[in-house]
Copies of this chain bind each other. A is one copy, B any other.
């Protein structure tokens, strides 16, 4: 069997899959999972319902694909870069400032999809809530591992607690997402980052 890009039979799709997925992502980001209807989606994506189902499965799968794309192309890539900075302090500073910037990017909805998407929801959407929850804790886990490395390298003191440090940084980032959705400006969030970094300076352990 040849690869996926083998010559395809049948009528070719008339839209670009990634392009319309971006449109869907934007709607979910703004409205949340439960707040977004299929009509909202098809209108924004410029395709009709059966095409959506043929290409993406159903609303739930579409959301998860949009979430993957969000993480991959949005904050994920930026955060990955932050994690590779040489010191824990530099990692945190980069993580927080880039978050403040992205959360208030005027070309996207305010806040973070992984927070806005479905903090609480009806029973039917519980699987979505859990997917978002896992994404958030994955980010926290990566940060914790980076801090453990820093501790091993002597960059962080022997009495420091990587898990608590990571949780603190994630908490500030998630709080900033709530702030952004409430209308906080970029300058507002950068002031928060300054405060948060002071906690860092005085507890490198």
Contact = CB atoms under 8 A, between A and B. Distances in A.
Interface string A159-198: 0010011011011111111110111100010011011111
A197 B196 CA distance: 10
A61 to B, nearest CB: 20
A48 interface: no
Contacts of A123: 31
A139 to B, nearest CB: 11
A142 interface: no
Specify the main secondary structure of chain A where it touches its partner.
Answer: helix
A35 B129 CA distance: 11
Given A174-B178, A182-B133, A120 B198 contact: no
A176 B36 CA distance: 26
Contact of A35 (B125, B168, B182): B125
A54 interface: no
Given A32-B34, A136-B182, 4 more contacts: A31-B121, A109-B120, A171-B196, A198-B203
A199 B188 CA distance: 17
B167 A31 contact: no
Nearest to A205: B198
Interface residues of A, number: 55
A201 interface: yes
A120 B125 contact: no
A167 B111 CA distance: 16
A30 interface: yes
B179 A178 contact: no
A103 B115 CA distance: 17
A69 to B, nearest CB: 18
Contacts of A194: 164
B167 A119 contact: no
Given A31-B120, A192-B164, A203-B198, A178 B171 contact: yes
